[in-house]
Chains A and B, each alone.
Chain A
Amino acid sequence: MSLSRRQVIVAIPAATLAVALPKSPSIAQDGRKIVTFWFGQANSDGQAALRRDLVEPFNASQDKYLLQLEIKGAAVNNLLKVALVAGSGPDIVQTAGPAYLTAIANAGQVLPLDGFAETYKWKERFLPALLNTGVYGGKLYALPRDYESMHLFYNKDVFSQNGWKLPANRAEFEQVADAALAKGIIPFGAGNADWKGVNEWLVTVFFNNVAGPDNVRKALSGELPWTAPPFVEAVELSKAWYNKGYFGKNYFSLTIEQSFLQVVNGKAAMALNGTWSFGTKSYGMSKPDTAMDVAPIPGLSAAVPGSLHHLACGATLSIAKSSQNPEGAAAVFEFMLTRQFYQEMNRDWPGKWALPVKDLPPEMLKGIGYPMFEKTITAMHDAFDKGQYGYTTWTFWPGATNGYLIEGIEQVWLNRVTPDAYLSRIQTLFAQELKEGKVPPLPQRAS
């Protein structure tokens, strides 16, 4: 087939117009409207849980919509941005937390959910502290898929064999850590060989548990510079602990799993890790005979007298602006709020879909056979509900600042830059991003 010049000239704008025209919703063979959902990383167990607990029961629950799930892997965040700009993204936009959502929401690539929130009473059902992380300019753009917090995981057998009691403050922490080192036990099992984000888990703990959540909040609001003395103390303490060997000799060589298993196997005493650890089966924490136990992390300075939970949202759920089936996407969200889904998903993949909904946990978790997970979620839910929490870097810090926070702390620990220089650079980057409106929204404190 040969095309004349005139045909080519006509074809180009026609093709452009075809791309620009609104798409009609995809229809399945049985006539149902298709709802597309891209998911990031999930191993075979996770994929099976997603199919068994979400896709199949949702599709069986009604005859209007058909949910299609695609596992996109680790690059999903980058794929998503490109697809949204091109208008070809999925109906359901899942991001890796408010820090990722900010740019997408500011660019208007996702729809406001206020209408659906009104219909389904979402604003009354979610914990405000978590729901407010999806509010931009007074409009709700995302629902929180889960809540997370840093915790102190420890081997209770190691503690009892050595006559140690669970530390309740910095002095006791250092006492236990020094005693562990003297016995050849690693105080904290930690490693970032497979995920640099481990650095920010630790920085989150030091910022909040040393400087205190009020100072962190002030700094995130731009009322206090990151170079203020409480943050200097926090970074200096992290450096002192690293240099004393509290995180072991192989922090940069061990993976997360290897380092946590050191605690499970008694080679290390404790781990500062997140609630997502409950979902890793190799740790065996759901077994009745596990040596592991967990507690909130105690304050590490006079500014933080008690233990602290750290507010984190590991993923957000929105509806793409280009979605031709927003009602279907909202119906999927509503399905996720059913008791059946909540129970089954948390049984099969603990912590991954811990929806911060008022009327579901914690009593819903009873009977899933995971006491440690149940008690942690219960305490976390209570703390977040009462407004007693610190702030996690991966939820509340803007991208460039958080990027340097993660990488730069290694420079501090390895004596490449001073704590002052590190915080000064953080302040410079943060001030710029605050000016550009890139800082994720802070939830209002409960009165």
Chain B
Amino acid sequence: MARGFRRKGRGAHAHYVAQLDPLERATVAGLMDQVHDLLDPPAPAPEGDDFASIVAGLGMGVTVAAEDQADLDPDEARRDPALDRLLPTANRQDDEVAAEFRRLTETGLRQRKAAALQTAADLLRGDDKLRLDAGQARAVLTALTDVRLVLGERMGLRTDDDVEVLEAAAQDLDPDDPLGYALAVYDFLTWLQETLASAMLDG
């Protein structure tokens, strides 16, 4: 049974503690790995485990060649919509300005997000008792955001109303429907992130 994050100490000495069981840690770390690979695609395809297969069924297993992502083609219809949530259009009035911004920022943003996801996944693979310093907590907090953005996109969450519709629909899902499992994981990540964000906000 997981225990959410709590802050210990203040200021420069603040750190954040939580307790997750091995399955919870592996699940969250595995999702962080997948979002990492979406941002920084590895050469060979990763091995699929059961959970990876479920998520792949939602479309998360889509591989996106890096060279397709940084071009200036304003027609971004080919782009994985999850990438558009991680790296959204920065100017809605001028496609050229948006493309120029993307050209200048995308590589750096991908690298920084991938690094935080890697840091967070490594921390989660450590021990059931998590103890994060301020920098580690920031990495975990932003990594949880990026995982939830991708999962939310895969589940079709585009507006606040979609969340309610999905929660209502979940009542009638077949117990074997992967969407039900994805929603349960999403809710767990939401809870975990809420405890960390609240602890950091007060710190």
- Bind each other: no
